[in-house]
Structure formats: structure tokens, C-alpha cells
A and B are shown apart, each in its own frame.
Chain A
Amino acid sequence: QVTLRESGPALVKPTETLTLTCTFSGFSLSTTGLFVSWIRQPPGKALEWLTFIDWSNGKYYSASLKTRLTISKDTSRNQVVLTMTEMDPVDTATYYCARMTGYYSFDYWGQGILVTVSS
């Protein structure tokens, strides 16, 4: 059974760095053709793809956010970590991690974590 769960702070201050952890089970990120991605959704707005990391440690970032994002993985702990620098109130959103397959679709999602950026 595949599960993913996001963890991290619910509140960060403007200019701070956000660190989120995705802990997953039921698959290994060393398996060829598997990826873990981060996606966010501001309240009442659409989904936005942020980044993903693949089985070979390849990393891909949204062009509009790539200077602020870093993704990494700890295969032995089944975790993927997202850091986003220079947080701003417009970054307030629910952040999801999701498994992506070689078909470039997200087949399993975490429940999401709401992160609010406010002083």
C-alpha cells in the first residue's frame, strides 16, 4: 500500500525558509521510473507544479520558482525534502507531495499541509 505524508511548519514568517518533508511507504525511490513531486495550491486557486526528483537523483524545477527551490531525497529513510527560500504571503498554500510514474502522472498523493506565511 502506497502512502505519502507531508510534515513541516504550519506557519512561517516572511523572508524565512520553508522546509517540508514527504515521508512515504509502499515503494522505493531507487526504483527506475519513479519520481516524487511537490505541488501546491493556494486557497481557492489552482494546482501548481513545483518540482520533482527521480530515482537517479535527477531534479526538475518550475522555471518561475527554481531560484528558490531545492529538492533532495534520503532513499534509506523514504523521505523527500523540499526547501523554499524567501517565503512571502503569496506562498500561502496547501503543499502536496505526490508519487509520479514514468507516464508523467501523479498516482498517489499525500493529504497536504497548509502553510501560512504571515508575520
Chain B
Amino acid sequence: QSALTQPPSASGSPGQSVTISCTGTSSDVGGYKYVSWYQQHPDKAPKLMIYEVSKRPSGVPARFSGSKSGNTASLTISGLQAEDEADYYCYSYGDSSFYVFGTGTKVTVL
């Protein structure tokens, strides 16, 4: 039971798109629709950005979108803005009530 794998960092200029991957196994990401994504600014609590792979909670900008293919989920930020600079974590439900976060990705707006 290991953490989901994310790239340590990603970056883009304002207005560009950035995609973050979250790789698990068929026992978690690949086997269920319960993947969510969280944004965390320094010294702040995480904030839910995407749930059930691709659904956005009320108030989350439409430039945030989620998808999944096989054992890998992805978060895409389109039209990158300065306030999107933060750490991002994925999270998945898994077999035998196994719940796990990703390793985290730091997004930098150049």
C-alpha cells in the first residue's frame, strides 16, 4: 500500500495549461471513480478542487479539470493564473478500504 505517484514539480507561464499526473494501480486509481484533487497554498489547509475524477465543487473555477485513463488520473489547469501556484495532491479510494494520497506536485507559475 504505497502513496500514489505524482511528479514533484510542474510549471507554466500565465495563460498556459499545466497537467499533473497521479499514477496508482488497478486496486485504487484504476479500479474506482473516487479520485479527488486538492490545492494547498503555503501554511493553509488543503482545498477540494476535483472529486469523482472529473467533478468540480461549487466555486472552483472551470479552468480546473480532471480525467482518468487506466491507472493514471490527471488534473489540468487551463489558462494558468498566478494564484494557481500551490501544491496539489491527488487522493484515491482503494481495495479493502485502502485510502491514499499522492506524493504531491508543486506548481510554479513562471
Q: Which residues of A contact B (CB under 8 A)?
A: 39, 46-49, 52, 60, 62-64, 96, 101, 103-107, 109-112
Contact = CB atoms under 8 A, between A and B. Distances in A.
A47 B89 contact: yes
Interface of B: 1, 3, 34, 36, 38, 40, 45-48, 51-52, 55, 57, 89, 91, 93, 97-104
A109 B46 contact: yes
B45 A111 contact: yes
B34 A60 contact: no
30 contacts: A39-B101, A46-B101, A46-B103, A47-B38, A47-B40, A47-B46, A49-B91, A49-B100, A49-B101, A60-B97, A62-B99, A63-B1, A64-B1, A96-B45, A101-B51, A103-B51, A103-B52, A103-B55, A104-B36, A104-B51, A104-B93, A105-B36, A105-B48, A105-B91, A106-B91, A107-B51, A107-B57, A109-B45, A109-B46, A109-B47
A101 B102 CA distance: 19
A105 B52 contact: yes
A110 B104 CA distance: 20
Nearest to A64: B1
Main secondary structure of the interface of A (DSSP, over half): loop
Contacts of B93: 104
A64 to B, nearest CB: 7
A64 B57 CA distance: 31
A60 B104 CA distance: 23
Contact of B51 (A46, A49, A105): A105
Given A47-B89, A47-B101, A49-B91, A104 B46 contact: no
Contacts of A64: 1
B81 to A, nearest CB: 22
Nearest to A111: B45
A63 B51 CA distance: 24
Nearest to B37: A105
A64 B2 CA distance: 10
Given A104-B34, A105-B36, A112 B45 contact: yes
B43 to A, nearest CB: 9
A1 to B, nearest CB: 14
